[in-house]
Amino acid sequence: MHYGEQTIAYLSLGSNLGDRAANLLRALTRFVSSQMILTAVSPVYQTEPVDYSDQPEFLNMAIAVTGFSGDPFSLLKFCLEAERELGRVRTIPRGARIIDIDLLMFGDQVIDDASHGVNLTLPHPRMHLRRFVMTPMKDIAPLLRHPLSGHTMSGILDALEDSSSVRIYRG
């Protein structure tokens, strides 16, 4: 959960509009160009949409970053600004999008609050229910423990009831 003395943040990235792989790469570049260090990057997965199914399939991945100066609210604000700069337009909740960047965990912090003009719940309230999130999380941090349940990412994925399709993207 810590990289040296710095907290590790875990994020989920997804795209299902346009050149999905290029969109993910542009998002990764945004983190690196902001002086953050990518400490782990999962494979890219092709996944079927969940909740709102009338949309194209997604490409999803998980990353771990450190080197961010600020608190989790500032990091979430950075993610929302990156989405906007990369062309995300919010129309239908959980609908199709050029890029989606979700802050899943920030160290072992548990937060349900608003600050810096954003609402934040950590750990992400639906991460443990979603195969498209937990599969790449298991890849980058299999023994990482969920701060509320105490279960590892591997254990959560193994017990998951979500049967949606998640498969390695071959490009």
Phi-psi group of 132: left, alpha or beta (phi > 0 → left; psi -120 to 50 → alpha; rest → beta): alpha
Domain CATH for 123: 3.30.70.560
Check whether the bond before 49 is cis (ω within 30° of 0).
Answer: no
Enclosing domain of residue 73:
2-168
66, 9 contact by CB (below 8 A): yes
Active site residue 88: yes
- Residue from 20, 30, 102, 139 carrying the catalytic annotation: 102
Active site residue 90: no
How far apart are the C-alpha atoms of 16 and 55, rounded to whole Å?
A: 8
Active site residue 102: yes
- pTM (two decimals): 0.93
The pLDDT tens digits for 13-41 are 999 999 999 999 999 999 999 989 999 99
Report how many domains make up the chain: 1
Query: Which residue in 7, 14, 41 sits closest to 127, CA to CA?
Result: 14
- Residue from 20, 30, 97, 131 carrying the catalytic annotation: 97
The pLDDT tens digits for 9-20 are 999 999 999 999
